[in-house]
Amino acid sequence: MLKRAKVAIIMGSDSDLATMTEAIKILKDYGVKHEVKILSAHRSPDDTAKFSKNARKNGFSLIIAGAGGAAHLAGIVASHTTLPVIGVPMETKELKGIDSLLSTLQMPSGVPVATVAIGKTGAKNAAILALEILGITDKAIEKKLDILKKSLVESVRSKNRS
């Protein structure tokens, strides 16, 4: 039923792409359909609202949103959809992502954003969290995640041997 599951990866600016690529690569590797879009809560608010409102109708199962500074993107998308929204706080030049983190995480009750770590690690984990969510009902993804889990153990062990 989720075979056609599709994930949106959106970001506030093309400068976020270097970070968000980490998420894109993982979804590609796992063969999950996805679309990548630049959408700004502040510079293209109507496009963002329109995208968010139609996301479910357009076949998306969940949305990964990366933004920095007064990072409103994930929160604004969440205000327009009942799909789960995963927020990736970008590292920022001055405040190192503390601003992005608090702006993404401290959402009011009723409108959650699933926030992950700051920066590239967060982008990777956003993709894996998306897989875990899809894997609740998708056996194929569940199996691939089991393999990932084992490979994590194995990679630690092999480093130990060397």
Q: How far is the CB of 29 from a second copy (least distance, A)?
A: 13
Query: Rounded distance, CA 119 to CA 18, Å?
Result: 10
Q: How far is the CB of 24 from a second copy (least distance, A)?
A: 14
Q: How far is the CB of 109 from a second copy (least distance, A)?
A: 4
Q: Which residue has the tokens 């970001």?
A: 11
Are the C-beta atoms of residues 32 and 134 closer than 8 Å to each other? yes
CB nearer to a second copy: pick between 31 and 82: 82
Query: Rounded distance, CA 40 to CA 76, Å?
Result: 10
